[in-house]
């Protein structure tokens, strides 16, 4: 794809290209690492603002993303970049309501500046996928928060308040480390309003248990067991096959017979045949287990 760009010079006198836009409309944009042998190091302000793009892939060479680079990309679902992009200006991903996944390739060890800056830029819920050189991957969900300003006319002052656990979750990401223990302790601050985010946080941590302690893992499993029916229905409606496969194959089982039975009915009604098959397999395994227990009961007595 043809991109528009400008050639600039850094403080050391080296030339680099700054992307200013795309020559043609496309749903998937892959920014090149160099243009005519010149490294692409920057995305200009408003470069793709308002574009009807669905996915954007930025190369390892990108170091700077300027103000409102992707502002108002209403269809943008996925942004992929490297953690060498650490000079991020305000509004980079502002007003991108469809953005459901930010993928960060962590080439620089123990460096989370890119993630921290993107989290600071957006108050709505965000989900990150971290890819490490050793092949590990990690998903982390950060719930939304709302910051409100209230005018106190008597005191002639404006007071600010924050609702939601999103800020606390964001504070777990520092420049050089992620406080996984602090992140896992925050589940008690989530409310019924955050149910979908709680489900995402819980399953991300259980499926990708980076530094997950036994007590935190037990709390996440307890949440699943206590909310099995509601949780499974949510995943079915989201068509989240991977997470449902994890839950239906996990031993010991976290989903009871009633939750699985209602889930199978829901999946069938919605025409989700693959998900329905996963749930039915889990029901069959559970039934065989119950039959085995019944056969062993006389000996156990």
pLDDT value of position 293: 46
pLDDT band at 150 (very low <50, low <70, confident <90, very high): low
Chain-centre distance of CA 55, in angstroms?
Answer: 15
Domain assignment present for 277: no
Domain assignment present for 40: yes
Full domain range(s) for residue 77: 1-122
pLDDT value of position 24: 72
Domain assignment present for 71: yes
Helix (H) or strand (E) holding 277: helix 273-300
Domain assignment present for 2: yes
pLDDT at 176 over 70: yes
**C-alpha to C-alpha distance for 79 and 100, rounded to whole angstroms:** 9
pLDDT band at 163 (very low <50, low <70, confident <90, very high): confident
pLDDT value of position 298: 35
| Residues 23 and 1 sit within 8 Å (Cβ to Cβ) | yes
Domain assignment present for 20: yes
Q: What is the CATH number of the domain that holds 75?
A: 3.80.10.10
Count of other CB atoms within 10 angstroms of residue 236: 24
Among residues 47, 146, 53, the alpha carbon closest in space to that of 96 is found at 53
Domain assignment present for 13: yes
Q: Residue 57: helix, strand or coil by DSSP?
A: strand
Number of domain units in the chain: 1
Q: Calculate the alpha carbon distances from 21 to 9, 45, 46, 217 in Å.
A: 19, 10, 8, 45
User: What are the residues whose beta carbons fall under 8 Å from the beta carbon of 221, sequence distance 6 or more?
Assistant: 206, 254
Among residues 195, 167, 198, the alpha carbon closest in space to that of 184 is found at 198
pLDDT in tens, 222-270: 999 999 999 999 999 999 999 999 999 998 899 999 999 999 999 999 9
Average predicted confidence (pLDDT) for the chain: 91
Domain assignment present for 129: no
Sign of dihedral through CA atoms 218, 222, 223, 229?
Answer: positive
pLDDT at 291 over 90: no
pTM of the prediction? 0.89
Among residues 78, 69, 168, the alpha carbon closest in space to that of 123 is found at 168
Among residues 60, 66, 27, the alpha carbon closest in space to that of 43 is found at 66
């Amino acid at each position: 794809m043809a991109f528009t760009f400008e050639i600039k010079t850094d403080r050391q006198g080296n030339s680099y290209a700054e992307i200013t836009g795309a020559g043609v409309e496309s749903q998937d944009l892959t920014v090149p690492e160099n243009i005519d042998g010149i490294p692409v190091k920057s995305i200009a302000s408003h470069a793709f603002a308002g574009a009807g793009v669905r996915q954007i892939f930025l190369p390892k060479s990108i170091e700077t993303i300027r103000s409102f680079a992707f502002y108002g990309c209403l269809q943008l679902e996925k942004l992929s970049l490297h953690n060498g992009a650490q000079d991020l200006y305000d509004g980079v991903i502002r007003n991108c309501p469809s953005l459901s996944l930010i993928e960060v390739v962590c080439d620089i060890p123990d460096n989370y500046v890119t993630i921290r800056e993107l989290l600071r830029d957006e108050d709505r819920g965000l989900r990150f996928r971290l890819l490490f050189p050793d092949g590990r991957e990690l998903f982390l969900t950060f719930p939304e928060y709302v910051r409100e300003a209230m005018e106190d006319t008597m005191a002639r002052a404006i007071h600010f308040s924050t609702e939601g656990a999103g800020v606390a979750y964001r504070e777990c990401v520092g420049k050089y480390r992620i406080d996984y223990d602090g992140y896992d302790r925050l589940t008690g601050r989530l409310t019924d309003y955050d149910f979908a985010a709680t489900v995402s946080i819980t399953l991300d941590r259980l499926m990708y248990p980076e530094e997950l302690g036994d007590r935190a893992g037990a709390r996440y499993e307890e949440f699943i067991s206590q909310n099995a029916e509601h949780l499974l229905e949510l995943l079915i409606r989201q068509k989240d096959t991977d997470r449902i496969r994890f839950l239906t194959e996990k031993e010991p089982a976290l989903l009871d017979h009633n939750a699985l039975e209602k889930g199978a009915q829901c999946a069938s009604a919605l025409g989700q045949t693959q998900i329905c098959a996963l749930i039915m397999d889990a029901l069959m395994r559970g039934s065989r287990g119950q039959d085995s227990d019944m056969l062993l009961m006389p000996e156990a007595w």
